[in-house]
Amino acid sequence: MRRYGKNPDEDDIRSRPNPRGSRPRTNIRPKHEDAAEGMVLTVDRGRLTCLVEDRTVVAMKARELGRKAAVVGDRVGLVGDLSGRKDTLARIVRIEPRTSVLRRTADDDDPYERVIVANADQLAIVTALADPEPRPRLIDRALVAAYDGGLEPLLVLTKSDLAPAEPLLETYRPLGLRYVVTRRDELADGGAERVRAHLEDRTTAFVGHSGVGKTTLVNALVAKERHRVTGGVNAVTGRGRHTTVSALALPLAGAAGWVVDTPGIRSFGLAHVDPSRVILAFPDLVDGTEGCPRACSHDEPDCALDAWVADGHADPARLYSLRRLLEVRHHEGD
């Protein structure tokens, strides 16, 4: 696994597998026991917009946090001016341990591996059934990122007025994914409700290639004043999409839950992915890896999974799907 490319600014659940373990606790925590709890809604050039109770508070990271970055979805502790009034600035003094991380590997445009969203329960992978054509490799990459980061995937297939969902669903059947099929002209007429049913009481990060109808969908799920125009203006900062690289957390309308809109992620770099984490999403195959060589990629000749499946312990289609997912790690830029 590649670690050297890691942004020193980032921290994550994997770099401290045992939070109460050998790492000495800092003495920061007691000092800020009275810090208010908040959630990061969006980040723009070092300014973090946080929800504190029902107020929107702009904050900066306190220097004492060092290089650790807070990202959208982070639960944080804040001190200072929490009034939320214009031109006030609070300080983030604590970042709570994350339950999940949606991350992206460094690419040509950005040399750092980044956490895009923290603490999301779910990754909604938005794919148009046509216009633009579905790109299964991109879906596979998003699935790997979800499994690696501890998010449950949800396949959202849009533009069903243009093409049937069945062929694509067939490809993903062995993975047993939850999915929902939508079309723009039905969103106001029960379609949004069907999507909402999958989002209730959860935090869902939405990813999708440009043009798939993600904005159309997100707008149908959040309150009108939060709407983004197609083509993209950040509802909190009011700036266009090209000036912000941050995700944006929006409250789900009509139910509890958060929709986290992510900026056009063109591809998921997956160089950071650890196969042993991906396989956790395949509980039926996990036992079969006992006979694997150390640090098995599960995609090599000595992998014990072939014999395990040949012996009838699991469905060959499941192993095939796992291998297809592991394989996309080697096709960067798809």
Ligand X SMILES: Nc1nc2c(ncn2[C@@H]2O[C@H](COP(=O)(O)OP(=O)(O)OP(=O)(O)O)[C@@H](O)[C@H]2O)c(=O)[nH]1
Which residues participate in the annotated binding site? 158-161, 208-216, 292, 296, 298, 303
Is residue 259 close enough to count as binding Zn ion by CB under 5 A? Answer: no
Neighbours of 243 (CB within 10 A): 11
Among 123, 303, 309, 314, binds Zn ion (CB under 5 A): 303
- Please state the closest distance from residue 325 (CB atom) to Zn ion, in A: 14
Length of the chain: 334
Q: Where are the alpha helices (DSSP H) in the chain?
A: 28-31, 136-149, 166-172, 184-186, 192-196, 214-221, 275-278, 283-286, 305-310, 316-327
Q: Which of the ranges 5-13, 119-127, 133-141, 294-302 carries the binding residues for Zn ion, by CB under 5 A?
A: 294-302
Q: For residue 109, which phi and psi values (nearest 5 degrees)? A: -75, -20
Residues 34-63 that bind ligand X (CB under 6 A): none
- CA distances 1 to 4, 6, 110, 189, 303, Å, are 9, 11, 19, 47, 18
Among candidate residues 107, 9, 96, the one with its CA nearest the CA of residue 50: 96
Please name the residues in contact with 333: beta carbons below 8 A apart, sequence gap of 6 or more: 107, 267
Among Zn ion, ligand X, none, partner that 191 touches (CB below 5 to 8 angstroms by kind): none
Cβ neighbours of residue 52 closer than 8 Å, sequence gap 6 or more: 36, 37, 38, 78, 82, 84, 90
At 259, list the tokens. 């929709």
- Which lies closer to Zn ion via its Cβ, residue 256 or residue 307? 307
Write out the binding residues for GTP: 158-161, 208-216
Closest separation between CB of residue 239 and ligand X, Å? Answer: 15
Decide which of ligand X, Zn ion, none touches 296; Cβ closer than 5 to 8 Å per partner kind. Zn ion
CB under 8 Å to 67, separation ≥6 — which residues?
A: 8, 9
298 interacts with, out of Zn ion, ligand X, none, CB within 5 to 8 A per kind? Zn ion
Q: Which residue in the set 99, 296, 318, 327 belongs to the binding site for Zn ion (CB under 5 A)? A: 296
CB of 211 to ligand X, least distance (A): 5
By CB under 6 A, what part of segment 176-235 binds ligand X? Answer: 183-184, 208, 210-216, 230-232
Q: Cα(316)–Cα(298) distance, rounded to whole angstroms?
A: 14
The Cα 3–Cα 21 span in angstroms is 21
CB closer to ligand X out of 84 and 264: 264
Q: 26 and 66 in contact (C-beta within 8 Å)?
A: no
DSSP-derived pairing of the beta strands 248-251 and 203-208: unpaired
State the nearest-atom distance from the C-beta of 311 to Zn ion, in Å: 15
Q: How far is the CB of 309 from Zn ion (least distance, A)?
A: 11
Instruction: Could you list the residues known to form a binding site for Zn(2+), using ranges.
Output: 292, 296, 298, 303
| 97 versus 211: smaller Cβ distance to ligand X | 211
Closest CB 49 distance from ligand X, rounded Å? 21
Residues within window 113-152 making contact with ligand X, judged by CB under 6 A: none
Nearer to ligand X, 185 or 201 (CB): 185
For residue 287, the surrounding DSSP H or E stretch is none
In the complex, least distance from residue 291 CB atom to Zn ion, rounded to whole angstroms:
8
- Which residues of the chain form contacts with Zn ion (CB under 5 A)? 292, 296, 298, 303
- Which residues of the chain form contacts with ligand X (CB under 6 A)? 158-159, 161-162, 183-184, 208, 210-216, 230-232, 264
